[in-house]
Amino acid sequence: MTAADGSLVVDDLKVEFDGFVAVDGVSFDAHPGEVRFLIGPNGAGKTTCIDAITGLSKGTGSVKLGDQELLGRSTQKIVRLGVGRTFQTASVFEQLSVLQNLDIAAGLHRSSWSLLRARRGVDPAIEVALEQTGLSNERETPAGILSHGQKQWLEIGMMLVQEPRALLLDEPVAGMSQDERTATGELLHRIAERRVVLVVEHDMDFMRRYASRVTVLHQGRLLSEGSVAQVQGDPKVQEVYLGTAGAVTTQAEGE
């Protein structure tokens, strides 16, 4: 897979809510093989960008995955084109076991009639996802009693069994311990080998350690873009984060 054909290209994306422009002409791209970060202060429009890419909010402009236009399609259609996303608060099916959670995710392309049969055996893709996310010993555990970090990994695992071409993660390490952050960061790097990974994050330390390239948003507009060092050296970025850069390392965002 060359970098060009599986890339996610966002061009002049604009999202408006009743006259309030949340995202104003943002353009960036993300290629397979890199862990792309989208950062910015509260209200910068990071999550809104992801919402627009995944069909949750209506946006104008263009979002292409490979040569396919995503804007204007329904959420389910966009998922079926190969875009997976996780949410700020891990969204898993708490009443179902880890295995059932993954099985539902893996069933995306099953025929409707096969849904009427009970599950037998485990899809090989599920075994791989269990191993990658370190949940092999928790397969029968109801997702509701997993630890916070494990829920986030389960959600990532649910994306992995779908083999998405692009994976968008909304604050994957919020509320995680240092060890869990490290594990998550390494996991993202391995996942990124074969697909686009776009991470919305608030945690500057996490971003410094694992970002390949960074896009900084501020008040719905693109502020800066480049490697971690370039972005950190950008005076505009320093201005926006002045006095807050240390404080925002761990706090969660309520956008």
Q: Which parts of this chain interact with other proteins (CB under 8 A)? A: 54, 75-76, 79-80, 84-85, 87, 91-97, 100-101, 103-105, 107-108, 110, 114-119, 123-125, 127-128, 131-134, 140-142, 145-147, 149-150, 153, 158, 162-163, 177, 179-180, 182-183, 186-187, 190
Q: What is the Cα–Cα distance from 205 to 90, expressed in whole angstroms?
A: 21
Please say which residue, 78 or 216, places its beta carbon nearer to other proteins: 78
Nearer to other proteins, 80 or 209 (CB): 80
Closest approach, Cβ 229 to other proteins, in A, equals 26
59 bridge partner residues: 15
| Rounded (10°) CA dihedral 107, 55, 23, 218 | -10
Nearer to other proteins, 66 or 107 (CB): 107
The residue assigned the tokens 């079926």 is: 80
Residue whose token pair is 């970098």: 3
Minimum CB separation of residue 81 from other proteins in Å reads 9
Distance CA 91, CA 103 (A): 15
Kindly state the smallest distance separating residue 56's Cβ from other proteins, in Å: 8
* Token pair listed for 41: 């202060």
Task: Output 153 or 241, the one with its CB closest to other proteins.
Answer: 153
- Supply the minimum distance, in Å, between the C-beta of residue 196 and other proteins: 16
> What tokens does 215 get?
């896009």
Kindly give, in sequence order, each residue whose CB lies less than 8 Å from that of residue 236, ignoring residues fewer than 6 positions away.
223, 224
CB of 243 to other proteins, least distance (A): 33
Reference 150, options 114, 182, 176; nearest CA is 176
When the beta carbons of 189 and 221 are compared against other proteins, the nearer one is 189
